[in-house]
């Protein structure tokens, strides 16, 4: 049996159990949504059970009193990742028993708020009780809404997860992104039917472009129905790869080609059929896959800016909302096709909410015990800081995320990610902070530099525009400063560097303005609005304050 037959056989054997597992996970989740406070109580009890004998809890004398899904008293402070950083070093050396009493089997990598990568402990308990059930629940919703995703071995093109060989390690354990599902951790780990598909299997040192190309080559001429990703920028990147490699795709489809260890067999008939399709101007992904009816990705907050572009490349295909999540934990899971909000994932963590008006920086810095709000006390239309207790031992963790409440679903708040506390738009998950940008601007060494404004600019490839008061420098765009600032920011923020190297973000554009231009504009704005409540904010939605209009 050849490799092609082998992976199709795997798909055929796996589909029935996969569908059943995901349907069961979705049904269990919906049952828990009917009893949200009881579910929250069970989650908190589970976290306490797996953590209370850990060294972290014992050394600090942590105590928790709770009742009916609410914290009544605790001496555990609200903590940011920085507060966990030192204890995580010990956790890495011990591989468990420090933060929780479940062994750490992998470290999850994500960008930190200062550019230094975070490492989140991936424990057996967290995987089995929380992270894998969350994915199964979401795919249970996908399968219920759109059964055709199981129609054939090529029906689902999954770019939200990958299988990449581990290249980094912490104390002997793999250190990789949560989206990297290789290798599997036991038989209960995430195992979709396409796990052995040639476009999904690991290829050493494959670049972003190579992965995109392999996905296209292996699925051209096949009956793709569902295209999934986490960030919409990935879908645009796939389309860009299609446009940039039309001739190569046709040649490899006609002659056959190797992608890693797998041979894409020659298909001259398909190549001739696609020659006309790919020669068109404005070719869309639905031209390549006529049966493509659904796609999935983030749709809230700044991801909404991608809607016109997605409509252009995906035509009539409709969206299946993706879970709201991060490496640190899952926050919402989809139950319907609402693109603005989904219910709080009450079985994924214990959640506390703090009104957005609270100064979280001061609260965390001074180790203050906040008054928190339970899920049934949230007000529609209001925004809240989110505090999570996770089953990996990272308890009462504040990631800086702010969520907006849109209403309720079966007594559970429907929420959506609104913004990062103190952070501007994040087109593709790069999460640039004021601190990072300020450091990058300083490294440029601009003589007599003053204030600056930074704004996201929507374009075919989005980018950031930065207006800087540059003293006596000529006003206008500066390619030299643009390249310099872009390079410094890539060094400081690893996620930004990743998105730039994969061409999901364009180069920063620096515009120099006369000295005091920004401060004068702020004062004029105060006068026009007859208020003193307008403060200098480096991050802006656009540069209209300076009368600069971006395309």
- Tell me: the pLDDT tens digits for 69-111? 999 999 999 999 999 999 999 999 987 799 999 999 999 998 5
Token readout for 262 is 């797998």
Q: Is the pLDDT of residue 508 over 70?
A: yes
Q: Kindly report, residue by residue over 4-14, the tens digit of the pLDDT.
A: 578 999 999 99
Considering 337-341, 431-435, 522-526, 541-545, the range whose residues carry the highest mean pLDDT is 337-341
Which range is least confidently modeled, 105-109, 264-268, 445-449, 526-530?
526-530
3-state secondary structure of 9: helix
Mean pLDDT value of segment 163-176: 91
User: How far is the CA of 435 from the CAs of 26, 105, 311, 321, in angstroms?
Assistant: 41, 33, 35, 32
Q: Kindly report, residue by residue over 369-384, the tens digit of the pLDDT.
A: 999 999 999 999 999 9
Residue of higher predicted confidence among 135 and 540: 135
Mean pLDDT value of segment 289-315: 84
Q: Is the pLDDT of residue 343 over 60?
A: yes
Pairing of strands 173-176, 169-170: antiparallel
The pLDDT assigned to 532 comes to 39
Spatial distance between the Cα atoms of 110 and 470, rounded to a whole number of angstroms: 34
Token readout for 450 is 């003053």
The pLDDT assigned to 4 comes to 59
The pLDDT assigned to 533 comes to 40
Which of 475, 156, 134, 150 lies closest to 328, judged by CA?
A: 134
The pLDDT assigned to 113 comes to 41
The distance in angstroms from the start CA to the end CA of the chain is 55
Please state, rounded to an integer, the average pLDDT across all residues of the chain.
Answer: 89
pTM: 0.80
pLDDT above 70 covers a percentage of the chain that reads 93
pLDDT tier for residue 305 given thresholds of 50, 70 and 90? low
The pLDDT assigned to 467 comes to 93
The pLDDT assigned to 528 comes to 65
Q: How far is CA 473 from the centre of its chain?
A: 39
Cβ(234)–Cβ(251) below 8 Å: no
Q: Kindly report, residue by residue over 112-134, the tens digit of the pLDDT.
A: 443 467 899 999 999 999 999 99
Q: Which residues of 445-472 are buried (b: 16+ CB within 10 A; e: fewer)?
A: ebeebbbbbbbbbbeebbbbbbbbbbee
Task: Name the DSSP letter for residue 2.
Answer: -
């Amino acid at each position: 049996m050849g490799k092609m037959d082998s992976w199709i056989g795997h798909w055929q054997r796996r589909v029935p159990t996969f569908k059943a597992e995901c349907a069961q996970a979705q049904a269990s989740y919906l049952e828990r949504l009917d009893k949200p406070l009881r579910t929250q109580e069970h989650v908190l009890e589970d976290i306490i059970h797996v953590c209370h004998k850990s060294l972290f809890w014992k050394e600090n004398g942590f105590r928790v009193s709770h009742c009916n899904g609410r914290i009544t008293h605790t001496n555990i402070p609200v903590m940011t990742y920085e507060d966990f950083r030192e204890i995580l070093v010990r956790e890495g050396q011990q591989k468990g028993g420090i933060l929780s009493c479940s062994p750490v089997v992998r470290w999850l990598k994500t960008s930190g708020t200062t550019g230094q990568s975070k490492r989140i402990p991936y424990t057996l308990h967290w995987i089995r009780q929380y992270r894998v059930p969350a994915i199964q629940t979401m795919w249970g919703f996908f399968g219920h809404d759109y059964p055709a995703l199981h129609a054939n071995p090529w029906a689902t093109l999954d770019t939200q997860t990958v299988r990449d060989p581990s290249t980094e390690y912490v104390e002997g354990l793999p250190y990789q992104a949560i989206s990297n599902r290789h290798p599997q951790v036991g038989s209960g780990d995430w195992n979709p039917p396409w796990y052995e598909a040639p476009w999904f299997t690991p290829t050493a040192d494959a670049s972003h472009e190579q992965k995109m190309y392999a996905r296209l080559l292996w699925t051209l001429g096949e009956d793709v129905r569902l295209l999934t990703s986490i960030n919409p920028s990935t879908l645009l990147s796939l389309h860009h790869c299609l446009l940039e490699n039309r001739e190569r795709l046709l040649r490899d489809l006609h002659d056959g080609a190797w992608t890693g260890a797998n041979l894409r067999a020659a298909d001259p008939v398909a190549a001739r059929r696609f020659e006309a399709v790919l020669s068109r101007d404005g070719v869309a992904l639905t031209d390549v896959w006529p049966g493509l009816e659904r796609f999935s990705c983030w749709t809230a907050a700044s991801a909404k800016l991608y809607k016109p572009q997605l409509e252009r490349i995906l035509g009539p295909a409709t969206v299946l909302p993706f879970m709201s999540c991060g490496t640190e934990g899952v926050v919402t899971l989809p139950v319907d096709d609402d693109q603005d909000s989904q219910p709080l994932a009450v079985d994924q963590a214990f959640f506390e909410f703090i009104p957005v008006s609270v100064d979280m920086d001061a609260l965390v810095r001074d180790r203050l015990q906040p008054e928190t709000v339970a899920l049934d006390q949230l007000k529609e239309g209001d925004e809240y800081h989110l505090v999570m207790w996770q089953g990996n031992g990272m308890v009462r963790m504040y990631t800086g995320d702010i969520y907006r409440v849109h209403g309720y679903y079966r007594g559970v708040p429907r929420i959506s990610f609104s913004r990062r506390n103190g952070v501007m738009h994040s087109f593709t998950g790069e999460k640039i902070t004021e601190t990072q940008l300020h450091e990058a601007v300083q490294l440029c060494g601009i003589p007599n530099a003053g204030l600056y404004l930074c704004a996201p600019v929507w374009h075919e490839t989005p980018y950031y525009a930065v207006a800087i008061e540059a003293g006596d420098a000529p006003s206008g765009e500066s390619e030299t400063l643009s390249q310099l600032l872009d390079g410094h920011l890539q060094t400081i923020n690893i996620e930004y560097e990743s998105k730039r190297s994969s061409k999901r973000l364009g180069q920063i554009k620096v515009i120099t303005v006369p000295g005091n231009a920004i401060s004068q504009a702020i004062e004029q704005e105060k006068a026009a609005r007859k208020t003193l409540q307008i403060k200098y904010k480096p991050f802006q939605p656009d540069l209209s304050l300076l009368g600069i209009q971006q395309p």
